[in-house]
Structure 1
């Protein structure tokens, strides 16, 4: 199986929505709908026009993972939509790690120094993954006012690229 990670746009919205909603709703029972995440219907204007990006991981042409970056300040951005299909998670494929590595490289190339993210406390494996990658927990009230909050998120992390 060949893994390809590439920037994707609106032409992939349907596949992205299928992947993400299945994980959110069916696997983790998070009560979230497409109406709660309209950004997935306008990937290019929401993520790319402001200086961020959206990547898809494909195994033999099947979308199996996503990660996105929303730039919300001159030198700061937020990770969004980090999802990997259940059967492709873990050390064997290392898809999440490869997605994160590409996002970090993009940040370095584009002079983004701080990466932040919000997640949900039920996503224990995700939290361990971010902590293994040197993200530090941060209190919600310590986030910058311009951080794009998602209503479901209740755990927050920051990574300063100048310190790693």
Structure 2
């Protein structure tokens, strides 16, 4: 188990957060996206930290090693976004992704959220397995709620229900 701490987003980590996310998207997976394509990362509070939304960081030795976020899309539903873990912190032994997801689940229970939805791209195969192992089920795009903020590159969609 990791000694990583999960905290709510702190502005002091803005550039590190951007560097981690874009580094994984563009550097590791070759997704054609830049920081400029993601203005939400320069305004986390306004974009994510509203109503049932939030943004968390996994911090190890004062360094950002993971991120996860929720956007409130009304009807006790949220969209999961920005789940990224530094390559050195992936896997069961570090459990950073698991810790981040547990934080999201606890938050959702506290806020009375009924469903989480997410969209992802085909390249993120390990992420697909992770979501499925953690109770998410794949759905068709047509099954997303109307308020879901689908991203142009997303082609695979998942949902998690707390009404199990």
Match status 1:78 vs 2:72: no
Instruction: Tell me by how many angstroms 1:151 deviates.
Output: 1.2
Q: Post-superposition, which runs of at least 4 consecutive aligned residues in structure 1 deviate over 6 A?
A: none
SS in 2 for 1:36: coil
Aligned-CA RMSD value: 1.1
In the alignment, the residues of structure 2 paired with residue 9 and residue 92 of structure 1 have an alpha-carbon distance, to the nearest angstrom, of 26
Point out the more displaced range, 114-123 or 47-56. 47-56
2:134 maps to 1:104: no
How do 1:1-164 residues align onto structure 2 when only pairs under 5 Å count? 2-163=3-164
Matched residue of 1:2: which SS? coil
Does the 8 Å CA contact 2:13/2:64 hold for their aligned counterparts? no
Contact 2:116/2:159 (<8 A) preserved: yes
Q: TM-score, normalised by structure 2?
A: 0.96
What is the aligned residue count? 163
1:152 is displaced (CA, Å) by 1.3
Greater share of helix: 1
Q: Residue 32 of structure 1: SS of its match in structure 2?
A: coil
Report if aligned partners of 1:9, 1:44 keep a CA contact under 8 Å in 2.
no
* Residues 10, 42 of structure 1: 8 Å contact kept: no
Unaligned ranges ≥5, structure 2? none
TM-score by length of 1: 0.96
CA contact (8 A) 2:50 2:72 kept: no
Quick one: distance in 2 between partners of 1:49 and 1:135?
24
Greater shift, 16-25 or 3-12, is seen at 3-12
Distance 1:100 1:75 in 2: 18
Q: Deviations over 1:67-99 (max 9, x none)?
A: 001011131001100000001100111000010
